[in-house]
Amino acid sequence: MAIEVRIPTILRSYTGGAKVVEGAGDTLGDLLTDLDSRHSGLRARLVTEAGALHRFVNVYVNDEDVRFLGALDAKLSDGDSVTILPAVAGGAFGFAAAAIGDQKLAPTVEPDRRASAADR
């Protein structure tokens, strides 16, 4: 079963520079294990030791966020397209705002919340 996986620039050191690789698996978790057998170290960059998707990684199956499809248990089918991207909500400027936000005016929403939101 072939599933196309798009790799972001920062993780291409694990795929020999390839933008797109192929893998197999009935679930996202299976797919990442399969990929790791050929691209050693990739899985550890995406999945925490506790076995959840890394907070700053977004994975999409056919353009839909897997966190709303069962996360690592999300079901995959032949011909699916999987895209991996670092979390950059708000474009690059989300980072800039966050970087100086603490110095200027403390966020009125507790930062703790981002962890719970992203790890869900």
Binding site for other proteins (CB under 8 A): 8-11, 45, 54-58, 60, 63-65, 67-68, 83, 85-101, 103-105, 107-111, 113-114, 116-118, 120
Cβ neighbours for 82, distance < 8 A, ≥ 6 positions apart:
3, 4, 5, 6, 23, 28, 31, 59, 60, 61, 76
Residue 2: CB minimum distance to other proteins, A: 21
Q: Which helix (H) or strand (E) holds 84?
A: strand 81-86
| DSSP reduced 3-state for 37 | helix
Residue 38: CB minimum distance to other proteins, A: 20
Residue 7: CB minimum distance to other proteins, A: 11
